[in-house]
Every structure is written in C-alpha cells, then in structure tokens.
C-alpha cells in the first residue's frame, strides 16, 4: 500500500518527497571535496550529478566541430573497435567561446530508477548500486521521463542553448568515448591510449570479473578512482547503453548497415583485457520471443543535450555559415569558382544534364570540406611545432648561458690560483659544447622560420585564428602550462614576423627569446664578460693569454661570434 500511495502521489504532484537524499546517493565524490560540475534534482528528493565535457571548437561558427580519432588499433576486433575518424561538438556554448555538453558522473543507480518510476520509499544502501536489467527501450524511456520531469519542475536548472533548455538522453558513441578517454582534459598522446589511466591497476578503476572484484554482480557506484574528467565506473560495473545502433568499422568509417543496440565500457562479467575505452559490444534489440533484450548488466549513463536549431535566429546563422562555406569557404575568403557551376545548373534546361551537374557540385563541395579540414589540421600541427621550436630555442639559450657561467667561473679560478692545464681542458670542453649548441640553434632557427612562413604566408587568417583559439583552449584544459606559454610566445611573434618576413637570424632569435626579461640582461652581460675590456679586475688580453695560453685565441674568437649572434 505504501508503494502504491507513493506512485499515486507522484502522478498527481510530480514531487512526492521534499526531503533531499544524502550526498552518498547523489554525488559520493563531493564527500571527498570533489563536487560535480552540475547537480540536477529528481523526483522524490533525489538528484543526479553531471560533469561538463568541453569540446574545443569555435562555437560562434555553427558548423564548426572537432575532428576525433576514436577506436583502437587492433587486429582482433578492428571490424568493431578499430580506429576511425569522427566529429563532435557540444550542445552548449561557454564563456570562452568553446562548446560543451554534460554527462552523468555515475551510472544510474537503483534509487534514481525508482524515483523516476514513482517509488518514493526512503532510500537505502541498495539504492547506491548501479541499475541493471534494462533494455534499450527502458533506458530511452527513463531519459524521457527525466526530461519531462525536469522541464516541468526544474526548467531553470537545466543548461540552455540560445534560450532553449536542454534535455536528457542516452549518449552517442562519440560523446561516450570522448568523455571516457578524458576529453580535452588530457593531451593527444594520453587520449589515444587504450585506457585512460597510467597509474595503478584496473582493479583501482573498475568492478570486473576478477578475484576480489565484481564476482558477477553489479556494485555500488563511485567507489573506485575516476577518469580525468571525474567520471566513475567508466570501465566495468554496468555496461552502458548508448543512443545509436551498431555499425561495423569499414576501413576507418562507420559502415552503412545499422544493426542492434550497443553497450560501452564492459561490465562486471568482463575480464581486465576486455576493458578499454574503444570497446563496443552489439546485442539484438529483442530476444527470440520478441521481448526487448534485457541483461542483468545493462545499465545507462545519461547526457544533457539540446536541439541544434534552437530558434529562427540560430537557423539564420546556420544558413549563413553553410552558404559562406560552400560559396567562399570561409568569411572574408575570395569567391569560390563553383559559383560558375551553380550558374550553369541554374541555366541548364535539360533535366539529365542538370542532375549530372548537380552531382558534380555536391562532390566539389565535399572535396572542399575535406580540404578545409585538412588545412585546419595542418595549421594546428604547425602552431604546435612552432611552440616546440620556441621552447627548444629558449632551452638552447639557457644552456649557452650555463656554459658562459662555467667559463666565467674558470676565469676566476685561474686568476686566483694561477695557470692550470686541467682548467684549460675544461674551458676547451665548454667551448666545444657551445659550438654544438650553436649548431643545434641553427637547425632550430630554420625550423622556426619555416613554421612562421607557413602560417604567415600560406594559412588563411580565419583558419589560423580559429585554430589558435581552439588550441589555446585545449592546452589550458589539459594543463600544459609550459607548452601553452611557448605557444603564446610563438603566436605573438607570428604577427611581427608577418610585418617583416625578411628577418635575419639574429632578429629571428630575438623574436623567439623575447619576454625572457632579466634573463636577457644576464645573457647580455655574460656575453661581454670575456671580451678584452670586460674582464673583472682590469684583467686584459695579456692576463687572459697568460692564464689560458692554449685556448685564448679560440676563446676570444668564439665569444666574439657568440656576442654578435646570440
């Protein structure tokens, strides 16, 4: 009777219980000081925690999306889990112009499932366990129920896009895998790894088939280590149903035949070898009796999304961006030659010829889109390379500075203690090393100039600026502080190089080493240290020649060159 009364009360009021659930049921990690990015209410006083997944793109361009390489190189399951190209964009725009979406921090638990179905009995320990035994249709219906409840009782708590509130649904495979790997919080090398962690063992991150682990039964969520985005139980526990049907991997793209339902992440019945970010499993949507396929391990992790076309204004922006991309490629670009083909199609009266010309136009536009994607990837690679060369040149300058300090110390030792063959040899060794460093610097400068020339003279302003904004956001999110600093130095130097592309080697080196500040001043003083008039204590060329008879001519020659070029 209590259960029936609770269900009837929920049907009438929509909110059957006002007492909030304890945090151990809604966001266990918050007890350890790591609060979720977003917590939305549920019926019966419940709640669901979500994490923000940033997808660095130019959110101002409605057609901009992020190219991803998903899957895993594998001979055993390449037909399913193999590498493939995919594209992703978040439904919501952030303050910095990036896009993002939200994904549940935990798998749906028993208590949340009960609340969505009107069972508002007091929560208990069992309610922390991941909800299993779902069919794909059950999961979709749960998302529908939750969306309806939120839109009726907590609309203002939902993230919105262009004034349109979001809704809850199952994740796409791209959304699930991007988040599972750590999203933009990890660098490209870490993102491509088989599993998201590089410390600890699988038992630290997952509940799976192993002694002392899952024992074949679903467990409480949030007890093991999270992934870099703060998501728990990505591997193991419940295998998570996703939105789209299964498709084979056909040589790096999804095959045209749509199949059964897909789960991701493996389950408590999986071995450690079967748990990895690219793992995909297909099941029939219905069993042999026609009943929706339900397994004890089938669970769900929801996402918050929004419509693509949120308003008339959004539709206008989409149309304008599409027209710009297909007529001129990008804003500010020259008119595209395919306008001639468009005019020919409009003037053509023969239906068959018109159809043929239209097909050619479609292929032309597809080729342009592929070319633009390639250009953006090239600009990204060149920007990263330029940042690396700036870092290499700065490290090279510090190394030369260190050698200068060593030679300075040897001069002082010789002056204080008299001539020493051992100190002579040390000076010679430092001079050889300085010569090697200068040779390295020459190579770095050539590569640095090539990167500057490629971006200043060849890359389109729009593509270059868009790539910069996305890459800067990506480096910030992945906390690559030093690389981001060098990236910004390279970007600032790029505008100056564009104004004077005939810079000599010395000016180019100064461009890379700018913002060193006090270090530049120290470098300048050290470079003058061993000039004939710059030795401390009034020690002139005769004194140095006496202290270093074997190396003094080479020393003076080397320092004169270094002073001129460094």
Instruction: Provide the 10 A C-beta neighbour count for residue 409.
Output: 12
Last residue in a domain, options 289, 305, 321: 305
Residue bearing the bigger pLDDT, 157 or 355: 157
Do 540 and 405 lie in one domain? The reply is: yes
> pLDDT at residue 409 above 50?
yes
Q: What is the largest CA-CA distance in the chain?
A: 108
DSSP assignment string, 416-471: HH---HHHHHHHHHHHHHHHHHHHHHHHHHHHHHHHHHHHHHTS-HHHHHHHHHHH
Do 428 and 288 lie in one domain? The reply is: no
Mean pLDDT in residue range 142-170: 97
pLDDT tens by residue, 461-470: 777 787 888 8
Judge contact between 293 and 283, C-beta under 8 A: yes
Q: In whole angstroms, give the CA distance from residue 430 to residue 197.
A: 43
pLDDT at 424: 77
pLDDT at 251: 84
pLDDT at 216: 84
Q: 254 exposed, middle or buried (CB, 10 Å; 0-12, 13-18, 19+)?
A: middle
Determine, yes or no, domain membership for 364: no
Do 72 and 157 lie in one domain? The reply is: yes
Please state which of the ranges 66-75, 315-324, 334-343 shows the lowest mean pLDDT: 334-343
Determine, yes or no, domain membership for 281: yes
523 — pLDDT class (breaks 50, 70, 90): very low
> pLDDT at residue 542 above 60?
no
Question: In sequence order, which residues have a C-beta less than 8 Å from that of residue 550 and are 6 or more positions away?
Answer: 424, 428
Determine, yes or no, domain membership for 366: no
The residue behind tokens 């995909």 is 280
Please state which of the ranges 47-51, 69-73, 518-522, 546-550 shows the lowest mean pLDDT: 518-522
Question: Terminus-to-terminus CA distance in the chain, angstroms?
Answer: 87
Residue 298 falls in which region: left (phi positive, over 0), alpha (psi -120 to 50) or beta: beta
Q: In whole angstroms, give the CA distance from residue 134 to residue 240.
A: 10
327: its two tokens: 């007529």
pTM over 0.85: no
Determine, yes or no, domain membership for 509: yes
pLDDT at 23: 93
Do 248 and 380 lie in one domain? The reply is: no
Judge contact between 53 and 181, C-beta under 8 A: no
pLDDT tens by residue, 81-140: 998 989 999 999 987 778 999 999 999 999 999 999 999 999 988 999 999 999 999 999
pLDDT at 322: 86
Average pLDDT, the chain: 82
151: its two tokens: 């839109």
Do 278 and 391 lie in one domain? The reply is: no
Residue 254 is given by DSSP the state B
DSSP assignment string, 528-562: HHTSTTTSGGG--HHHHHHH-TTTHHHHHHHHHHH
Determine, yes or no, domain membership for 313: no
Q: Mark out the alpha helices in 311-350 (DSSP H runs).
A: 312-327, 338-347
Do 394 and 497 lie in one domain? The reply is: yes
Residue bearing the bigger pLDDT, 435 or 272: 272
CATH number of residue 259's parent domain:
3.90.1580.10
Mean pLDDT in residue range 299-311: 97
pLDDT at 337: 58
515 — pLDDT class (breaks 50, 70, 90): low
Q: In whole angstroms, give the CA distance from residue 169 to residue 203.
A: 30
Q: In whole angstroms, give the CA distance from residue 489 to residue 515.
A: 8
Last residue in a domain, options 283, 305, 327: 305
Please state which of the ranges 145-149, 235-239, 359-363 shows the lowest mean pLDDT: 359-363
548 — pLDDT class (breaks 50, 70, 90): very low
Determine, yes or no, domain membership for 326: no
pLDDT at 320: 92
Residue 122 is given by DSSP the state P
Mean pLDDT in residue range 377-405: 86
pLDDT tens by residue, 198-248: 888 999 999 999 887 777 899 999 999 999 999 999 999 999 999 999 999
pLDDT at 563: 43
Q: In whole angstroms, give the CA distance from residue 245 to residue 264.
A: 12
Last residue in a domain, options 255, 288, 305: 305
38: its two tokens: 């977003």
Mean pLDDT in residue range 384-403: 88
pLDDT at 164: 94
Domain that holds residue 413: 371-565
pLDDT tens by residue, 246-268: 999 998 889 999 999 999 999 99
Judge contact between 218 and 133, C-beta under 8 A: no
pLDDT at 429: 86
Strand, coil or helix: 262: strand
Do 82 and 169 lie in one domain? The reply is: yes
Mean pLDDT in residue range 561-566: 42
Do 525 and 379 lie in one domain? The reply is: yes
Determine, yes or no, domain membership for 356: no
Determine, yes or no, domain membership for 319: no
Q: In whole angstroms, give the CA distance from residue 457 to residue 31.
A: 54
Q: In whole angstroms, give the CA distance from residue 286 to residue 360.
A: 42
Domain count for the chain, please give it: 2
Do 389 and 523 lie in one domain? The reply is: yes
DSSP assignment string, 78-113: HHHHS-EEEEE--SEE-TTS-EEEEEESSPPBHHHH
């Amino acid at each position: 009777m209590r259960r029936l009364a609770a269900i009837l009360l929920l049907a009438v009021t929509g909110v059957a219980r006002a007492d909030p659930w304890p945090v151990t049921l809604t966001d266990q990690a918050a007890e350890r000081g790591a609060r979720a990015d977003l917590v939305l209410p549920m019926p019966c006083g419940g709640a669901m925690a979500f994490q923000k997944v940033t997808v660095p793109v130019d959110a101002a361009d409605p057609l901009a999306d992020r190219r991803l390489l998903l899957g895993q190189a594998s001979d055993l399951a390449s037909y399913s889990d193999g590498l493939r190209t995919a594209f992703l964009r978040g439904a919501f725009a952030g303050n910095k112009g990036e896009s993002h979406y939200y994904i549940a921090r935990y798998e749906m638990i028993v208590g949340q499932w009960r609340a969505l179905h009107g069972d508002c009995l007091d929560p208990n320990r069992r309610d922390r366990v991941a909800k299993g035994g779902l069919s794909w249709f059950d999961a979709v219906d749960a998302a529908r129920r939750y969306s309806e409840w939120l839109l009726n009782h907590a609309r203002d708590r939902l993230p919105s896009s262009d004034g349109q509130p979001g809704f809850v649904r199952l994740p796409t495979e791209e959304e699930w895998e991007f988040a599972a790997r750590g999203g933009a919080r990890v660098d490209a090398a870490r993102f491509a790894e088989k599993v998201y962690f590089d410390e600890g063992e699988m038992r630290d991150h997952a509940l799976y088939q192993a002694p002392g682990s899952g024992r074949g039964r679903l467990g409480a969520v949030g007890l093991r280590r999270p992934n870099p985005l703060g998501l728990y139980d990505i591997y193991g526990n419940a295998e998570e149903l996703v939105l789209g049907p299964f498709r084979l991997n056909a040589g790096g793209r999804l095959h045209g035949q749509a199949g059964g339902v897909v789960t991701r992440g493996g389950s408590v019945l999986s071995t450690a070898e079967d748990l990895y970010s690219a793992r995909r499993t297909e099941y029939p949507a219905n069993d042999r009796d026609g009943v929706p396929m339900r397994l004890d391990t089938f669970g769900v992790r929801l996402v918050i999304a929004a419509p693509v076309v949120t308003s008339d204004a959004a539709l206008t922006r989409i149309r304008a961006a599409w027209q710009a991309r297909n007529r001129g490629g990008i804003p500010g670009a020259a008119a595209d030659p395919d306008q001639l083909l468009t005019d020919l199609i409009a003037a053509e009266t023969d239906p068959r010829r018109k159809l043929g010309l239209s097909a050619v136009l479609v292929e032309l536009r597809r080729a342009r889109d592929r070319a633009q994607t390639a250009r953006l990837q090239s600009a990204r690679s060149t920007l990263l390379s330029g940042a690396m060369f700036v870092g290499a040149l700065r490290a090279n300058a510090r190394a030369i500075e260190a050698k200068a300090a060593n030679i300075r110390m040897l001069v002082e030792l010789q002056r204080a203690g008299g001539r020493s063959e051992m100190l002579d040899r040390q000076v010679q060794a430092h001079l050889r090393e300085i010569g090697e460093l200068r040779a390295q610097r020459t190579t770095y400068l050539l590569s640095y100039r090539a990167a500057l020339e490629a971006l200043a003279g060849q890359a389109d302003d729009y593509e270059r600026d868009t790539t910069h904004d996305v890459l800067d956001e990506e480096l910030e999110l992945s906390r690559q502080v030093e690389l981001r600093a060098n990236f910004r130095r390279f970007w600032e130097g790029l505008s100056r190089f564009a104004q004077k592309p005939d810079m000599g080697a010395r000016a180019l080196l100064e461009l890379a080493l700018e913002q060193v500040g006090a270090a530049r001043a120290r470098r300048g003083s050290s470079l003058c240290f061993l000039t004939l008039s710059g030795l401390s204590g009034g020690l002139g060329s005769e004194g140095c020649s006496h202290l270093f008879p074997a190396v003094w001519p080479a020393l003076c020659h080397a320092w004169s060159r270094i002073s001129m070029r460094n």
